[in-house]
Amino acid sequence: MGLGDFMLFPQLNNSRLLIKLDGIWDFALGNEEFDESLCLSPIENAEKVYVPASYNEQKADERFYNHYGWAYYQTAFSLPDISEKRLVLRFGAVTHACRVYLNGKQIAAHIGGFLPFETKILQSDLKAVNLLAVAVDNRINTSTLPVGNDIKRAMFGSGLPDFESVHKTEIKPKNYPNFDFFNYSGIHRSVWFYTTPIEHIKDITITTDINGKNASVSVNAALSHGGAADVEILDRYGKTVATGNTDAPLNISDVHLWQPGAAYLYTAKITYKNDCYCQKFGVRSVEVKGSKFLINGKPFYFKGFGKHEDSDFYGRGINQAQNVKDLSLMKWLGANSFRTSHYPYSEEMLNLCDEEGIVVIAETPAVGLNKNSYGKVFETHKKVLCDMIDRDKNHPSIVMWSLANEPDTEDENAHDYFMPLYDLAHERDPQNRPVTTVVCNNNYTADRTAPAMDVICANRYYGWYIFGGDLDAAQQAMTAEMEYFKQFGKPFMITEYGADAISGLHQSVPTMFSEEYQKEYLKCINSVLDKYDFVVGEHVWNFADFQTIQGTMRADGNKKGVFTRDRKPKLAAHYLRERWNK
């Protein structure tokens, strides 16, 4: 893989200035038609919202919660004299598409709601006081990632009469997700201005090779004006352990490995001309060997969850206090991992996982894929996969890439769709991590994709969506499925299994939606998993209750969390704590 020109995470140091624009911004809701006038001059009678956060739950107003179409943000700012510097504007994530204006001039546009984008700012574009405007489009459909439904299919399913002519009802336009989480919208991660010298470091890629007690470290850098950069490797205490440059590997003697639950991070200090960037990294190996998943040559068993970036008021907006709390609760449970279901999470969260020794499966926002979308989203899927790997390639916490969640892999086109993406992920990743696709076909014997992946990852809900309330049947069905997948000789991981539980609902006889049933359900499925040595992990769905679209299956969101949305433990959490801490 060649070095890309992807952006580094913003950093404040002696050569780089960093200014964050987070705070209260002016705001206005729009409609389906883009209104450029709301980007050219200050919004009259503007609302106030906080950035970064979803706008949906910031107001006690149904218009915000169920908004469909464009919305408009504005903020005014001034900058110190930076005439001798290169100036860049960076957005951590804006969901789902946006156009950016500075002082009435469009300077950027982006599609995709979960990865960063940036644009260079010219001195000639700046004034003493500047107006930054961001127009955000939250609409989803069969050609977006994540995938949306058309209104007719969402309301009535396929093959039913036209509801306008038969039911005499006109439904106002709104989003109908083909995924089971709320379509939160807005500027979800921080907005930064940062500077670099004109001659600067554009990208850094670090790979390591362990040889006994030593490690070879290759630090490759994309440099604006070519040449090589000096490299200094520092240990966790800031002591220099190796020096060299980007032309040749460096050697670390008596290396400390990055271990799950026992993180050790080194820092590569790269100096180029007048620019400097410090990139943290870990020395560790990841490998699939037979039916085992190995980290540092030792079998690893995933204990943890699928989760969501989801919280009160913030919606999908970055919430660092909650990130700290979530990882603390995982450690309290004895969990060691999670999947970024169902989109790339913030870089801040991944940095925290690097520091805390939490193992991560990183997933693209390709959720809801079916035969109606395969032909429409492939190029977008390729781009978001490459962008995710380019952004996250240096994180030691990430040990596997997930191409998608629950696509229709029974479809005759599924294998030909996913295998080029599988190959692309291996080619793109300088660490060549394992690659998977998380499947959930009821007829698993017809799945055309899962057996071709490095790790077979499946979501399964026997005892809930299938055989609901019948744990004896659930145990039989889960056993039959494990017997089927055993034949492939590959690691198997259950990436979702769970049951809704209403917090505080208790029953002497475990019945669906009670805390007792959720606990017994998990015990039932685990009793099957424990019998098979090719099983390499269990990720419960979900870490915490989360918000979804309104519907008859959801009472104030999805209640499969073992914690409530405000992080209070249910009975199942105490069961998992006992199991995972053994």
Tokens of 307: 């989760």
Written as tens digits, the pLDDT of the chain (582 aa) is 333 456 899 999 999 999 999 999 999 999 999 999 999 999 999 999 999 999 999 999 999 999 999 999 999 999 998 888 999 999 999 999 999 999 999 999 999 999 999 999 999 999 999 999 999 999 999 999 999 987 655 555 555 556 566 667 777 888 989 899 999 999 999 999 999 999 999 999 999 999 999 999 999 999 999 999 999 999 999 999 999 999 999 999 999 999 999 999 999 999 999 999 999 999 999 999 999 999 999 999 999 999 999 999 999 999 999 999 999 999 999 999 999 999 999 999 999 999 999 999 999 999 999 888 898 999 999 999 999 999 999 999 999 999 999 999 998 889 999 999 999 999 999 999 999 999 998 899 999 899 999 999 999 999 999 999 999 999 999 999 999 999 999 999 999 999 999 999 999 999 999 999 999 999 999 999 999 999 999 999 999 999 999 888 888 899 999 999 999 999 999 999 999 998
* Alpha-carbon gap, residue 89 to 552, rounded angstroms: 43
- Nearest 5°: the CA angle 159, 161, 165 is 155
What is the per-residue burial (b if ≥16 Cβ within 10 Å, else e) of 265-278?
Answer: bbebbbbbbebbbe
Q: Is the dihedral of CA 478, 484, 489, 492 positive or negative?
A: negative
* Alpha-carbon gap, residue 94 to 52, rounded angstroms: 9
Q: What is the CA radius of gyration of the chain?
A: 24
* Alpha-carbon gap, residue 29 to 166, rounded angstroms: 33
CB 40 within 8 A of CB 64: no
Q: Please, where are the H alpha helices in 457-553?
A: 471-485, 515-529
Active site residues: 406, 496
CB 251 within 8 A of CB 244: no
Q: Is the dihedral of CA 163, 164, 169, 171 positive or negative?
A: positive
Residue 378 burial class via C-beta count within 10 angstroms: exposed 0-12, middle 13-18, buried 19 and up = middle
Helix axes 515-529, 471-485, angle to 10 degrees: 30
Three-state secondary structure call for residue 180? coil
Helix axes 320-333, 571-580, angle to 10 degrees: 60
CB 339 within 8 A of CB 79: no
Q: Which of 389, 315, 397 lies closest to 352 in space, CA to CA?
A: 397
Q: What phi, psi does 63 have (nearest 5°)?
A: -60, -35
* Alpha-carbon gap, residue 574 to 563, rounded angstroms: 10
- What order of strands is seen across the sheet that includes strand 97-102? 47-51, 23-29, 70-77, 130-137, 97-102, 105-111
The DSSP secondary-structure symbol of 32 reads S
Residue 78 burial class via C-beta count within 10 angstroms: exposed 0-12, middle 13-18, buried 19 and up = exposed
Q: Roughly how many angstroms between the first and final C-alpha of the chain, as a whole number?
A: 42
Instruction: Give pLDDT, residue 239.
Output: 98
Q: Please, where are the H alpha helices in 361-413?
A: 374-392
Instruction: Give pLDDT, residue 582.
Output: 87
Residues in the chain: 582
What is the per-residue burial (b if ≥16 Cβ within 10 Å, else e) of 456-482?
Answer: bbbbbbbbbeebbeebeebbebbeebb
* Alpha-carbon gap, residue 67 to 175, rounded angstroms: 8
